[in-house]
Amino acid sequence: MPFIEELKRWATNRGERTAVVVGEQRLDYAQLLLAAKSHVRSTQTDGTASVALVDAQSSTELAVEFCSAVLAGTTVMVLDAQWPVGLRSELSRAASDWTANQMPQDGAPTPFLLGLSSGTSGLPKAFARSAASWHESFIRSAEYFDVGPDSVTLAPGPMAASMNLYALGESIFAGATFVALPQFTPDTALKAIADNRVNRLVLVPTVLGLIAARGMATGKSGHRIRSIVCAGSELPEATHALAREWAPNAIIQQYYGAAELGFVAAATVAKPPAMVEQASTEPAATEQEGVGTAFPGARISIRDEECMELGRGQQGDVWVAGPYPCDGYAWGDDGLAFRSEILVSSGGSSEAWYTVRDQGFLDSGDRLHLAGRASDMVIISGVNVYPHHVEQTLLGAARGASIAHEPEAKPDAMTVIVAGIADEVRGKRLVAGICMAPLAVPIDAVRQAARQLPAPQRPSQYFELSTLPLTGSGKISRAILAQWITEGDARAKRLH
């Protein structure tokens, strides 16, 4: 199992060390192992009967139930307690059906985890992950991100989210302390950082921006933070600058991956001044340098629709090989979201490669640049349009105009989101949501920038957003924006 042997070792050798903190609740390593063992006995799990469902609010109880299922050797599925009751019931039935249809295979290990995709509607897809994939990930990520027994990690999103569930397992593997929140607000996050002497953050860029902005506004410095790890989307320059100001002593790193793929690429975005002054052969990455180079143990290849490998600078599907990807879907596989193929690599050998159809290219330094996911692509009058490029163009114009008008303006709250909505003539058309509060939206400058884009990439409507359209895990969602606009939601106000 991916971290159970380590849990037993830490419980024996450092049992009094705090393992998990959620709000006012906390468990040390000895208590966590004892509670997990007790839960195994109380549920009489034998590892073969069914999927162990963990359906609890973010709490130490969730950590205990998760560890209990892994300890028992059964397949575990962690549900988001914020999801509607009906959806959670559907997932429970799907898990039972999956169990009933499983055909024993000689020598094939039982998946330890059924992970869930983060869809905004419908039944989430479930992917099967092996214990070996997580265990190898822990070995590599603990070294790459310098996670050790003295690390105190705050993951402020829902514990059921794949990134945060992984951070919990990674902390246990390293003998560190994991901190979560019963409910996220920037103030509760700042309080948890102070109360628990948090020195490491694992979060999405949007949440980092919220915490850093609130910390700066209230004088609650992040000087104790020595490591910030961002994932879920590229780290915007403005958020990076704000985090650098709020947490001046932190190494800021980002990684690109997917729940189905695991780690793909990573980079160190910024180092504290003391480390910069030291001789280093590894320069810090910048936003222009993409999301980083291949994560240790992973290999990246860019391929066209026929799976032929493309050269440097050529855009195509991002494929990855290595020990981290999942073993496919338990249910919900439409053949579009995740694909695996035995392909010939540039060295001539054949092996398994995997993709979630993210689009990107490798530059001359083997750094990966992303252009968006194929599923985000909007077809407008027969032309393929990727929202990410349009967003960056409009955001640059908005920031430039705002700073020119107000030189002291902080650009950290500026966000542009572009989505496609149905259009009877063109099939789809682009709309843009702009969140600038408390600054006024420089709509003339944004429209002027859009006029420099090819016609299919120009939004037909612009909306001022009172809040960001976020998923439960804190990621910006184009689908939610499109839903707001289609339904006339008050959070998206039309700009004329």
Bridge partners of 67, per DSSP, are none
Please tell me the predicted confidence (pLDDT) of residue 121: 47
Q: What is the mean pLDDT of the chain?
A: 88
Is 36 in contact with 194 (CB distance < 8 Å)? no
**Per-residue model confidence as pLDDT tens digits over 86-99:** 888 999 999 999 98
Q: Choose the weakest-confidence range: 163-167, 193-197, 210-214, 333-337.
A: 333-337
Lowest pLDDT segment from 353-357, 385-389, 485-489: 385-389
Q: Are 164 and 20 within 8 A, CB to CB?
A: no
DSSP tag of 197: T
Q: Does 7 score more than 70 pLDDT?
A: yes
For 290, the token pair is 């993409």
DSSP state of 232: S
Q: What pTM, to 2 d.p., does this model score?
A: 0.82
Helical H runs in 261-355?
273-277
Task: Determine the pLDDT at residue 32.
Answer: 98
Residue 174 near residue 17 (C-beta atoms within 8 A): no
pLDDT top residue among 492 and 349: 492
pLDDT digits (tens, 9 = 90+) for 174-189: 999 999 999 999 999 9
Contact 376, 233 (CB under 8 A): no
Domains detected in the chain: 4-294 (3.40.50.12780), 299-376 (2.30.38.10), 378-495 (3.30.300.30)
The SS3 of residue 164 is helix
Can you list the alpha helix ranges (DSSP code H) found in 73-161? 85-100, 131-144
Enumerate residues 6+ apart whose C-beta is below 8 A from 275: 251
Q: Which helix (H) or strand (E) holds 72?
A: helix 60-72
Output the CA torsion sign for 33, 38, 39, 41.
positive
* pLDDT digits 0-9 by tens, 96-123: 999 888 766 655 678 999 998 754 446 8
- Name the residue with higher pLDDT: 79 or 283: 79
Please state the rounded mean pLDDT for residues 366-386: 79
